[in-house]
Amino acid sequence: MIAAVDSSAPAILVRDLHKSYGAVEAVRGIDFEVATGEVFGLLGPNGAGKTTTVEVLEGYRERTSGIVSVLGHDPSTRPRALRERVGIVLQSSGVYRHATVGELVAHWAGFYPRPRDVGEVIDLAGLRESENVRARRLSGGQARRLDFALALVGDPELIFLDEPTTGFDPAARRAAWETIRALADLGKTVLLTTHYLDEAQALCDRVAIVKDGRILAVGAPAELGVGASSRYRVSWCDEGGEPQTRETDDPTALLHQLTSAALARGTGLAELSVTRPSLEDVYLELTAEPGDEPAAVTAGAGGSRRGRGRR
Amino acid sequence: MSGALALTWRQYRLERRMFWRNPSAAFFNFVLPLLFLGLFGAIFAGSQTDLDVIVPGIAGMSVMTTTFVALAMNMVYLREQGVLKRLRGTPLPSGAYLGGLAAHAITNTAIQLSIVIAAGALLFGVGLPENWLMLGVFVAAGVVCLGSLGVALSHAIPNFDSAPAYVNAIFLPVIVISGVFYDAENAPAFMRDLAQVLPLTHLIDGLSAALVTGAPFADHLSDLAVVLAWAALGAVLAVRGFSWEARRG
């Protein structure tokens, strides 16, 4: 039915997407593309329109207007050929509570024309030890792994992950990140939503920062920082111990000056650092409410706001 | 393996297995009607007139618990838990899923009725059914009617915590008014009038003829018409209000 697909065609294409619930405009004109094999993140505070956007792409919601293409299909008609190629991890969803993990994964495998090996999927999701445990006895983290397993067993090309690690402890988050990276290594396309900066930074090839139903910026996590302000920030402590900061387009000359002076004095340069704006800085700048503390940002479960384990 | 029939069968098999692992579902669907049959059978022992009423009455009640009660509770639960939404995102055809669910409910109806009929014949002196065809027709109409009304009711129930209240607020008065436990002819006039409107009364009348009295089918076509009218209403409401996910708060 499907002719040879142009591999350069984007896995997901969204043009001027609008979605209203009655008088409420949840999505107000969103454009983005996700390339095949890319891990793309929608990053934004709660209520930004991330889930609505993803649910339009998953076929759960009808868009109000705009163009949407998922693996070459219009998701609003929910064609079975598309559902066979897509795996969905919803923000929250239940299963048959009295079935075991193994039974559920095997049952789900039967929905798909070319499922993956059930045991392999259970291993990939880290559920080997819970295989014979009934779903209702799983911990929150294990239940989330089961969500992953059920979404992956059909061997999808494209995987939607709606806030895959919300509510996780740090160890469980790391484990989930490893699973998502394993998917990326398999060449799968991943669209994930998150309100964790570190998660977007750690996992995504590209990120779109979403707020109030609009995209404020799109790019690789590193590029986003560069785009907002290409300046380097150089900080150090002067002879009197006073902290100094200077911004510059090219820190080479400044650093030469500072280090020469320090060498001439025969002292060190205390607390010298050269930084570029991080994704966090960009995010805070873009999503800040006027006259408001940037409280919308949620720190990672580990307490650190900085990207960790970045690859 | 992904043929629609094969998928329906797999879904049915899963529903069957899960059913027996859930003690409360098994109790409400299975034990309760049989418990009532045992209790009322004991109370009415010696009075064949009463036993002749209670056996078709409990048969009608069994149809209602296995379809109306079970589906209303089930749909609210599956919707609230997000099971329906998750399944909707898979290639499983909706028809295969709902077909499996319906076949599961019908199996419970068939098992229940077999037990009630066997008990009627062996323990309560009612004998074997007089008219198997009529029995089949009324049971089929009753399943469609009460099943679709159960699904329709599930749309009106806001959440699973309140589901037992909604379901029992209908189920309990209906089984009393419709004459499950006594001959509806002996009830006060306002209850008799009310009962005439309800489908369970007419289902029990039809079952009574098929199981006990052997009255001709032709005498009970009006009963069948009432059950089918409710079935049509139930089907429209069940389809119109259908949603794969819980309403947003």
Helices B189-197 and B163-177, packing angle to 10 deg:
120
Sorting pLDDT into bands at 50, 70 and 90, what band is A299?
very low
| A60 CB within 8 Å of a chain B CB | yes
Residue B242, Cβ neighbours under 10 Å: how many? 16
CA distance B170 to chain A (A): 27
Q: Do A112 and B2 touch (CB under 8 A)?
A: yes
Residues of B in Cβ contact (< 8 Å) with A134: 21
CA distance B86 to chain A (A): 6
CA distance B8 to chain A (A): 11
Residue B209, Cβ neighbours under 10 Å: how many? 22
Sorting pLDDT into bands at 50, 70 and 90, what band is A171?
confident
Q: Do B83 and A96 touch (CB under 8 A)?
A: yes
Sorting pLDDT into bands at 50, 70 and 90, what band is A227?
low
Q: Is residue B9 part of a domain?
A: yes
DSSP state of A298: B
Nearest Cβ partner of A110 from B10, B18, B81? B10
A174-202 residue pLDDT tens: 888 998 999 999 999 999 999 888 899 89
| B91 CB within 8 Å of a chain A CB | yes
| A95 CB within 8 Å of a chain B CB | yes
Residue A225, Cβ neighbours under 10 Å: how many? 21
Q: Please give the mean pLDDT across all residues of chain B.
A: 91
Q: Among A19-28, A260-269, A270-279, where is mean pLDDT lowest?
A: A270-279
Split into its structural domains, chain B has a count of 1
Q: What pTM did the predictor assign? A: 0.82
Q: What's the N-to-C CA distance of chain A in angstroms?
A: 39
A106-161 residue pLDDT tens: 999 999 999 999 999 999 898 999 999 999 999 888 898 999 999 999 999 999 99
Sorting pLDDT into bands at 50, 70 and 90, what band is A288?
confident
Report the pLDDT value the prediction gives residue A310, as an integer from 0 to 100: 35
CB B2 within 8 A of CB B87: no
Report the pLDDT value the prediction gives residue B245, as an integer from 0 to 100: 85
Q: Is residue B246 part of a domain?
A: no
User: What's the CA dihedral at B99, B105, B110, B111 to 10 degrees?
Assistant: 130
Which of B208, B42, B32, B209 is CA-nearest to residue B115?
A: B32
Nearest Cβ partner of B85 from A84, A90, A107? A90
Query: Which of A243-252, A259-268, B1-10, B99-108 is modeled with the greatest confidence?
Result: B99-108
Q: Is the predicted pLDDT of residue B177 greater than 50, yes or no?
A: yes
Q: Is residue B72 part of a domain?
A: yes
Q: Is residue B165 part of a domain?
A: yes
Sorting pLDDT into bands at 50, 70 and 90, what band is B26?
confident
Q: Is residue B248 part of a domain?
A: no
**DSSP states along B152-189:** HHHHH---GGGHHHHHHHHHHHHHHHTTSSS-GGGS-H
B186-225 residue pLDDT tens: 888 988 899 999 999 999 999 999 999 999 999 999 999 9
The proportion of chain B whose per-residue pLDDT surpasses 90, expressed as a percent, equals 73
CB B3 within 8 A of CB B91: no
Sorting pLDDT into bands at 50, 70 and 90, what band is A224?
confident
- B84 in helix, strand or coil? helix
CB A43 within 8 A of CB A194: yes
Domain of B77 in residue numbering reads as 4-240
Closest residue on chain A to B77 (Cα): A94
**Mean predicted confidence (pLDDT) in A91-105:** 92
CB B171 within 8 A of CB B72: no
Sorting pLDDT into bands at 50, 70 and 90, what band is A4?
very low
The CA angle B31-B33-B35, to the nearest 5 degrees, is 60
CB A146 within 8 A of CB A107: no
* Rounded CA separation A43/A215 (Å): 9
Q: Is residue B249 part of a domain?
A: no
The CA angle B194-B57-B225, to the nearest 5 degrees, is 55
* Rounded CA separation A105/A275 (Å): 46
Closest residue on chain A to B23 (Cα): A98
| B89 CB within 8 Å of a chain A CB | yes
Sorting pLDDT into bands at 50, 70 and 90, what band is B2?
low
Residue with tokens 């009455």: B57
Q: Please give the mean pLDDT across all residues of chain A.
A: 85
CB A175 within 8 A of CB A128: no
| A269 CB within 8 Å of a chain B CB | no
CB B158 within 8 A of CB B78: no
Residues 6+ apart with CB under 8 A from B61: B33, B36, B175, B180, B200
Closest residue on chain A to B92 (Cα): A111
Q: Do A60 and B17 touch (CB under 8 A)?
A: no
Closest residue on chain A to B4 (Cα): A111
| A90 CB within 8 Å of a chain B CB | yes
Q: Is residue B10 part of a domain?
A: yes
CB B195 within 8 A of CB B173: no
Q: Is residue B229 part of a domain?
A: yes
Which carries the bigger pLDDT value, residue A286 or residue B85? Answer: B85
In this complex, how many residue pairs, one in chain A and one in chain B, have their CB atoms less than 8 Å apart? 70
Top residue of A54, A82, A96 to mutate, by most chain B CBs within 10 Å, is: A96
Torsional class of A187: left (φ above 0), alpha (ψ -120 to 50), beta (otherwise): left
Residues of A in Cβ contact (< 8 Å) with B76: none
Residues of B in Cβ contact (< 8 Å) with A96: 14, 18, 83
Helices (H), chain B: 4-21, 23-26, 32-43, 48-63, 70-81, 83-88, 94-122, 132-156, 163-177, 189-197, 199-208, 221-240
Which carries the bigger pLDDT value, residue A300 or residue B146? Answer: B146
Residues of B in Cβ contact (< 8 Å) with A95: 81, 83, 86
